[in-house]
């Protein structure tokens, strides 16, 4: 395997930590530099198992800081970028859209500019053996209303929230740098992820935690919104395939062919949790409370992932019920992780590990 030096942004986050772990362990000849700002969603406790690997380096910093990004490229001479760093929670984007504009748009353009300038400055090779991989979301496509329709790579963008609008803009910038400067790029748009280490503001870990502590399970509207769910480790494997086998300039949709109405998902979660906790069936279901629907709440997302399956040979490894049980077991077995996250203690880990030594 040819040695590469890869910058992975957002590598302490939920999806990013699984990607970092996969690349560090699967490709020992690669040097993996994990750049994360360590906001509320970035947690170095997610990757303690690989933090001392000889091919792994962590850098704390902000992609919005162009000077810092430039210095990082000068220090490591990256030949590839896998860009996952983003503000990603829709509710937070409704409250504070400018934060999403800065990180998701300005931060992405900073990375593109720096990569372009650094790679073009290499007069011997230029863009040869270089790649900018932008990891995006299915939310850029808007909402589906026809039950027989799916998001394709060619589906027109129709973002409905500040979060998805910011991600759509960053996608457009990546394509613009490919078209204008001939920068080698790939983009992937993925459906909802679930699994280990997800920050408990998202539906599945939030409800696991609330059921454990007998708190209300707030369901938006009537719970009729539909999402396609994919196990996070399957997403990491897909990113691996797109990075190594994806075609320059192409987009790949990643999904689980696994649609669930929110209410049906919550009912399944309650059923499994009652069984795991030894409670009478129906106990957790009584915690469900219906709350005012989110502003601009998209009705349905559904990915057609045939392209990545047919062209790159990727496919999901788990059925949803199996993946959900596996996820629940992880949260029930990692109570300290969950307590540290919900209390904010996890944010001290960087200081202890990196500043106090």
Strand stretches in the chain, DSSP E: 5-9, 31-36, 56-60, 80-83, 131-137, 185-190, 192-194, 217-220, 226-231, 251-254, 259-261, 288-291
Question: With b meaning 16 or more CB within 10 Å and e meaning fewer, what string describes 25-52?
Answer: eebeebbbbbbbbbbebbbbbbbeebbe
By annotation, the residues acting in catalysis are 138-139, 163
DSSP-assigned states of every residue in 113-150: HHHHHHHHT-TTTTTTT-EEEEEEEGGGG----STT--
Q: For the chain, how far is it from start to end, CA to CA, in angstroms?
A: 34
Which stretch of DSSP H or E encloses residue 202?
none
């Amino acid at each position: 395997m040819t040695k590469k030096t890869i910058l992975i942004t957002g590598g302490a986050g939920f999806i990013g930590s699984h990607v970092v772990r996969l690349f560090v362990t699967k490709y020992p000849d690669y040097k993996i530099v994990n750049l994360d700002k360590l906001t509320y969603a970035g947690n170095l406790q997610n990757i303690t198992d690989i933090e001392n690997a000889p091919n792994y380096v962590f850098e704390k910093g902000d992609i919005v800081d162009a000077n810092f990004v430039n210095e990082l490229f000068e220090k490591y001479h990256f030949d590839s970028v896998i860009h996952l760093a983003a503000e990603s929670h829709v509710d937070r984007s409704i409250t504070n859209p400018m934060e999403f504009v800065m990180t998701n748009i300005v931060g992405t353009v900073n990375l593109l500019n720096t990569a372009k300038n650094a790679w073009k400055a290499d007069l011997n090779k230029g863009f040869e053996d270089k790649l900018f991989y932008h990891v995006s979301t299915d939310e850029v496509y808007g909402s589906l209303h026809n039950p027989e329709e799916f998001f394709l790579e060619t589906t027109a963008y129709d973002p409905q929230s500040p979060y998805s609008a910011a991600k759509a803009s960053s996608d457009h910038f990546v394509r613009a740098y490919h078209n204008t400067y001939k920068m080698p790029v790939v983009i992937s748009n993925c459906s909802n992820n679930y699994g280990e280490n997800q920050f408990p503001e998202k539906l599945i870990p939030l409800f696991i935690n609330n059921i454990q502590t007998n708190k209300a399970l707030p369901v938006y509207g009537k719970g009729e919104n539909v999402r396609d769910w994919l196990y996070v480790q399957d997403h990491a494997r897909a990113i691996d395939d797109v990075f190594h086998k994806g075609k320059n300039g192409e987009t790949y949709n990643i999904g689980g062919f696994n649609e669930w109405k929110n209410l049906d998902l919550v009912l399944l979660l309650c059923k499994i949790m009652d069984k795991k906790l030894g409670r009478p069936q129906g106990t957790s279901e009584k915690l469900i409370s219906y709350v005012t629907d989110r502003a601009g709440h998209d009705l349905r997302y559904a990915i057609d992932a045939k392209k990545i399956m047919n062209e790159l040979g990727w496919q999901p490894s788990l059925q949803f019920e199996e993946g959900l049980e596996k996820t629940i077991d992880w949260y029930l077995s990692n109570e300290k992780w969950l307590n540290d996250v919900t209390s904010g203690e996890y944010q001290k880990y960087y200081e202890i590990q990196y500043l106090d030594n």
